[in-house]
């Protein structure tokens, strides 16, 4: 039960992710995939991507305090963006390896699923689109 709860959390966060860098939300689609297999795949890929560490940009030395503050803020944003992109790259490679296609999803459909309050309902809605015979959006590059 504990595993299932954790896995559902993983599916909801990672199985249907919005990527600013890649313009638009997407999900992973594999026709006819079993629910258990889907949860297992997403959980494993999430574990691997969570362990990812992108290269951090360093802040150059300057005696000017304002410049230090500005540079730190900027490098903080950069590092955060790089880390997010790095984790998503790992997740996409992993899911592709498991036989999933990355498919774009309509923003309204994406929001509709995310708005569902109950974990089981969200899981059901997500799994339905992931395992459907046909993808609901355009297939994206890995």
The residues that touch another protein, with contacts defined as CB under 8 A, are 47-49, 51-53, 57, 78, 85-86, 89-90, 93-94, 96-97, 99, 141-142
State in angstroms the smallest separation of the CB of 84 from another protein. 13
- Is the CB of 11 or the CB of 45 nearer to another protein? 45
- Is the CB of 53 or the CB of 120 nearer to another protein? 53
d(CA 42, CA 53) in angstroms, rounded, equals: 19
Which phi and psi (to 5°) does residue 87 adopt?
A: -65, -40
Count of CB atoms situated within 10 Å of the CB of 97: 12
CB 19 within 8 A of CB 26: yes
State in angstroms the smallest separation of the CB of 53 from another protein. 3
d(CA 18, CA 25) in angstroms, rounded, equals: 4
- Is the CB of 36 or the CB of 97 nearer to another protein? 97
State in angstroms the smallest separation of the CB of 99 from another protein. 8
């Amino acid at each position: 039960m504990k595993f299932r709860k954790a896995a559902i959390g993983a599916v909801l966060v990672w199985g249907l992710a919005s990527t600013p860098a890649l313009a638009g939300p997407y999900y992973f689609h594999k026709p006819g995939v079993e629910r258990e297999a889907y949860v297992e795949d997403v959980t494993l890929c999430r574990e691997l991507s969570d362990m990812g560490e992108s290269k951090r940009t360093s802040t150059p030395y300057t005696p000017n305090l304002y410049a230090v503050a500005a540079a730190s803020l900027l490098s903080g944003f950069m590092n955060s963006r790089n880390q997010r992109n790095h984790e998503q790259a790992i997740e996409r490679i992993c899911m592709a390896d498991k036989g999933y296609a990355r498919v774009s999803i309509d923003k309204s459909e994406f929001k509709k699923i995310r708005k569902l309050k109950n974990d089981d309902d969200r899981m059901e809605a997500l799994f339905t689109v992931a395992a459907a015979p046909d993808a609901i959006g355009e297939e994206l590059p890995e």
